[in-house]
Structure 1
Amino acid sequence: MLIICLWVSLAMSCTGITGYHYRTQNKLQAKGREQTTLLRRRVLDLQHYPRRQDDGYHQPEHPHFNNTHFCPIQEMEQSGARLVDEEDYPWIARVVHGRPFKEIMAPLICTAAAIDKEIFITAARCIATAKAEFTTVLYLNRQIGVKAFIFPVEPSKQMFDDVGLIVTWAPWQNKTIHYEIINLPKNPRPDDNSYYFFEDLVDTKAKTSTLIGFIELEESPGTHKLYKLENMHASNRICNEIYPMTKNSDDYWAPCVHFCSPEEHDMNSETCRRYLLGLGHMVVDEQTNELIGIVTWTCANSAPDRLSRDRLPMPLGVAVPNRKTLKIDKNCADMLTNDKMPHTQLTRGYYRHLCMDMY
């Protein structure tokens, strides 16, 4: 089941998920503070937890996929990332809280990517508490109003580890936009409770994985800069090897990317001190223009936490846009895109009823 958030204020249909999101986020923040303490202690005591050898280090049969401590990304920072031109990545977009054409387009909520005409993909966490009427997508130097959001509503880690779709209005005054899109993974995941597929997905792309996303300048909130970091390390192992305090823990077996290998992280390698933090940042294979994952969470990556670890950042959790139901979500988005009902005539629940038969 999905929740669709409408553009019209009175037609907003997010109350159920918004309540869940806030209740859960409070727990996450409390858990995050506890986890921060554990992480500080663990990094200081790494010598007491020697790394296991690669042979025999396999994903457990029943990993803890439903961890509740997948912390929100509160920072938007970079160190060692390369500033790039938005024109070089014509599928990239920004999601901003505010109506189109306001004087300062801020605050920046997250990064998004075009996957079809008037349809963008981002982290579900980004739009879980947003209102479509007060959201703008900045794409190819255009400000585009949002028609609806589509995202999962199941009360599990998936709310914070999955993707959401943004359906935008057609350009005003019959102006046309040539949409450049990024390719989604070709093969759907076998099921929603396993991430074995992720290892196969990144094995052939490890040398070409790039993290790219926008950062809002603190001194100029309406200014958004696009950065990228190359040679990212991605696997199900990285978060499991670095995050848990307990040796041989089954926690944090989930798709993650890091700025260096786990071995380099343990050795406090200077390579590990580069980072690019921001919700919705895209992990892509630049050679094939394929979207590998979308950054949705991280823990203990605030400036004080990094300072306590001698500036060492922590890995980033990603959502992989290949769950089976994503195709249904995309079909729903297509239907909303093709619907020509003027926004002045929309009624409460209109878009939700358009897609009801799909689910």
Structure 2
Amino acid sequence: MMSLFISVFNPLENYQVNAVGVTEDKYPWIARVVHSRLSDMPYMCTAVCVEHRIFITAARCLYSLKVTYTTVIYQNHHFPVITFVVPSNTTKQAFDDIGFIVVNDEDFHGEWVTVALFDTTNRTDEDFEWFADLNLSEDASEHVVLGYATKKGIHVIKSADRNFTLTELEVIVNINICPEILIFNNLITGFHVPCYHSCSVAQFKGNDPKCSNYHGVVGGAVFNTKTNKLLGITTWGSYFFKHELPVGFSVPNSKNFFEDYTCARRIKRDKGLLVIDGYYQALCEDFN
């Protein structure tokens, strides 16, 4: 059995190194979350559309927002948020938590484009052996990570008007990247969780220049270019100014994820006009 050792899973800094700029036309299901009903800023995190009016992102983004001030910008349209669905069963330090955003679409007349979710297997354990059993290819062209990021260096400037653009980076995904690289001179063990990096473990140990590339944004999309399905949502990462390090992500295939998805759907379908404190929460109290 693999052991799961949870240390410090930091929030991501929303920056990139040598990533490639792309347009929303290439990934029409991508979205950005801003903490304003009137402006395109401040940008808070990336989100993806998984169903008409329903988006997912890293749960840790939602914990810093207020529903009444939050907007999802998708298909160049500003969608006011109705509610958040935060994880019903959270993990320590939110390293594996995905949150849902339900929006209002009264003024939208465009086409809803969604991304298909990973559906190869559901989780069978808490130690991610099921993920290791996927035997994912180390072909860097098989997975990309994308989201709204700024350049490294600029990311340290914490200002509301900081510019973020949609970028993507080819990455390698497997269960060994984090435990092999994030070992701090063998002082700790663990980190057997889904991670990606711009290079393989062998390339990292060989100081391959490719390892200096990086893309890590809160709520970023880990996308399989072979299946055209979403493999995961970026949720955590470690930062060291001298080197670029792997990024951890959550695969949307847990029991908790599907329970929260059911909650988001109930809220979306609700036709009630009178909303009082606790109303939406009550819609999700009983899943039987």
After TM superposition, the score normalised by the length of structure 2 is 0.89
Aligned to 2:231: 292
State which of 164, 187, 193 in structure 2 corresponds to 1:224: 164
Percent identical among aligned pairs is 33
Aligned to 2:94: 159
Aligned partners of 2:194, 2:51: CA distance in 1, in Å? 25
Q: Report which stretch shifted further, 322-331 or 283-292.
A: 322-331
Aligned partners of 1:265, 1:205: CA distance in 2, in Å? 13
Structure (1 or 2) with the larger CA radius of gyration: 1
Aligned to 1:277: 216
Aligned partners of 2:75, 2:51: CA distance in 1, in Å? 14
Q: Deviations over 1:178-219 (max 9, x none)?
A: 211111111453345121222344615844101111125869
Does the aligned pair in 1 maintain the 2:128–2:193 contact within 8 Å? yes
Q: Sort the Cα spacing of 1:354 and 1:220 in 2 relative to 1 into closer, same or farther, 3 A.
A: closer
Q: Sort the Cα spacing of 1:214 and 1:201 in 2 relative to 1 into closer, same or farther, 3 A.
A: farther
Aligned to 1:171: 106
Does the aligned pair in 1 maintain the 2:87–2:257 contact within 8 Å? no
Aligned partners of 1:151, 1:205: CA distance in 2, in Å? 33
Aligned to 1:347: 276
2:255 corresponds to which letter in structure 1? K
Residue 330 of structure 1 aligns to a residue whose secondary structure is: helix
Tell me by how many angstroms 1:77 deviates. Answer: 1.9
State which of 313, 320, 323 in structure 1 corresponds to 2:251: 320
Aligned to 1:186: 119
Does the aligned pair in 1 maintain the 2:42–2:160 contact within 8 Å? no
Aligned partners of 2:121, 2:60: CA distance in 1, in Å? 21
Tell me by how many angstroms 1:246 deviates. Answer: 5.2
Aligned to 1:140: 75
Asked if 1:238 corresponds to 2:177, the answer is yes
Does the aligned pair in 1 maintain the 2:117–2:231 contact within 8 Å? yes
Tell me by how many angstroms 1:248 deviates. Answer: 8.5
Does the aligned pair in 1 maintain the 2:30–2:49 contact within 8 Å? yes
2:91 corresponds to which letter in structure 1? S
Aligned to 2:143: 209
Residue 221 of structure 1 aligns to a residue whose secondary structure is: coil
Tell me by how many angstroms 1:295 deviates. Answer: 0.9
Q: Sort the Cα spacing of 1:352 and 1:205 in 2 relative to 1 into closer, same or farther, 3 A.
A: farther
Tell me by how many angstroms 1:82 deviates. Answer: 0.6
Does the aligned pair in 1 maintain the 2:45–2:219 contact within 8 Å? yes
Aligned to 1:42: none
Does the aligned pair in 2 maintain the 1:192–1:323 contact within 8 Å? no
Q: CA RMSD in A?
A: 2.3
1:121 corresponds to which letter in structure 2? I
Aligned partners of 2:8, 2:261: CA distance in 1, in Å? 29
Q: Sort the Cα spacing of 1:272 and 1:188 in 2 relative to 1 into closer, same or farther, 3 A.
A: same
Does the aligned pair in 1 maintain the 2:30–2:46 contact within 8 Å? yes
Q: Sort the Cα spacing of 1:97 and 1:192 in 2 relative to 1 into closer, same or farther, 3 A.
A: farther
Tell me by how many angstroms 1:328 deviates. Answer: 2.2
Asked if 1:93 corresponds to 2:31, the answer is yes
Larger helix percent: 1
Does the aligned pair in 2 maintain the 1:336–1:351 contact within 8 Å? yes
Tell me by how many angstroms 1:152 deviates. Answer: 1.5
Aligned to 1:10: none
1:244 corresponds to which letter in structure 2? I
Does the aligned pair in 1 maintain the 2:4–2:127 contact within 8 Å? no
Gaps of 5+ in 1: 1-60
Does the aligned pair in 2 maintain the 1:167–1:337 contact within 8 Å? yes
2:278 corresponds to which letter in structure 1? G
Does the aligned pair in 2 maintain the 1:162–1:320 contact within 8 Å? no
Q: Sort the Cα spacing of 1:294 and 1:202 in 2 relative to 1 into closer, same or farther, 3 A.
A: farther
Aligned partners of 1:220, 1:154: CA distance in 2, in Å? 32
Q: Deviations over 1:303-345 (max 9, x none)?
A: xx323xxxx2000011111102322222221111111234xx3
